[in-house]
């Protein structure tokens, strides 16, 4: 008598697990599609990519970069989205790092969950092998990209404004196409470039 309700419950758990794994697979495929973009654009020299990976910016350098590069690049993205009829906003939100805010871009599409894209400062202890003058135990800061699914695991500090816009469009396309593919099956992802 107890076996039927338990087997129905196990069947429902299997269905939800299958759906969760399918969603996770779609996220992983989208993440892999953006890998070349995160590792560096084809027009970016290997020297510049090497310099970015061996630089450990201070909080002041990150604040200057956010104000001079990231904020205008994302404001341009907001302007482009609004001209396409998308409701969106760019907000400066607080972060636990004193003096460093994060930028949160929210875009609302018809009948879809709002898409959020956040450039968030994350502090890390400066490695002992880092070159230059620094105090032992000092920190450096990464500007990591977060969406509703969490951190994307890459640092945008030092990226050119056009590169930031491209990263946003790739992430947006991947997210929107993942939402569409849940309804209709596999979808080919289109990447847009802002010139």
**How do residues 105-130 score in pLDDT, each as one tens digit?**
998 887 777 888 899 998 888 877 77
Could you tell me if residue 192 is inside a domain? no
User: Which contiguous run of DSSP H or E holds residue 69?
Assistant: none
State how many domains the chain has: 1
Residue 24, class by beta-carbon neighbours within 10 Å (0-12 exposed, 13-18 middle, 19+ buried)?
exposed
Distance (Å, whole) CA 105 – CA 115: 8
Could you tell me if residue 157 is inside a domain? yes
Q: How far is CA 56 from CA 11, 128, 155, 175, in A?
A: 51, 11, 11, 30
Residue 43, class by beta-carbon neighbours within 10 Å (0-12 exposed, 13-18 middle, 19+ buried)?
exposed
Distance (Å, whole) CA 37 – CA 189: 14
Could you tell me if residue 1 is inside a domain? no
Q: Report which of residues 82 and 176 the model is more confident about.
A: 82
Could you tell me if residue 124 is inside a domain? yes
- Find the mean pLDDT for residues 65-80: 91
Q: How far is CA 25 from CA 19, 21, 31, 68, in A?
A: 10, 6, 10, 37
Residue 42, class by beta-carbon neighbours within 10 Å (0-12 exposed, 13-18 middle, 19+ buried)?
exposed
Could you tell me if residue 150 is inside a domain? yes
| pTM of structure | 0.66
- Find the mean pLDDT for residues 70-91: 90
Distance (Å, whole) CA 18 – CA 11: 11
Could you tell me if residue 93 is inside a domain? yes
The pLDDT value recorded for residue 185 is 45
Distance (Å, whole) CA 27 – CA 175: 8
Structure-token pair, residue 6: 């338990």
Domain residue limits at 31: 10-184
Neighbours of 171 (CB within 10 A): 20
Could you tell me if residue 5 is inside a domain? no
The pLDDT value recorded for residue 30 is 61
Per-residue pLDDT at 61 exceeds 80: yes
């Amino acid at each position: 008598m107890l076996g039927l309700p338990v087997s129905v419950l196990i069947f429902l758990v299997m269905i939800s697990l299958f759906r969760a794994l399918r969603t996770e697979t779609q996220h992983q495929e989208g993440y892999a599609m953006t890998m070349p973009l995160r590792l560096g654009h084809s027009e970016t020299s290997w020297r510049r990519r090497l310099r970015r990976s061996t630089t450990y910016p201070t909080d002041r350098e990150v604040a200057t970069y956010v104000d001079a590069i990231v904020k205008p690049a994302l404001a341009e993205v907001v302007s482009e989205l609004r001209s396409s009829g998308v409701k969106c906003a760019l907000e400066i939100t607080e972060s636990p790092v004193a003096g460093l805010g994060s930028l949160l871009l929210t875009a609302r599409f018809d009948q879809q969950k709002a898409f959020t894209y956040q450039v968030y400062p994350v502090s890390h202890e400066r490695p002992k092998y880092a070159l230059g003058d620094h105090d032992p135990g000092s920190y450096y800061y990464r500007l990591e990209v977060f969406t509703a699914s969490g951190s994307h695991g890459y640092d945008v500090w030092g990226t050119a404004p056009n590169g930031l816009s491209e990263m946003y469009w790739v992430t947006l396309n991947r997210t929107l196409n993942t939402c569409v593919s849940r309804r209709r099956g596999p979808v080919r992802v289109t990447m847009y470039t802002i010139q």
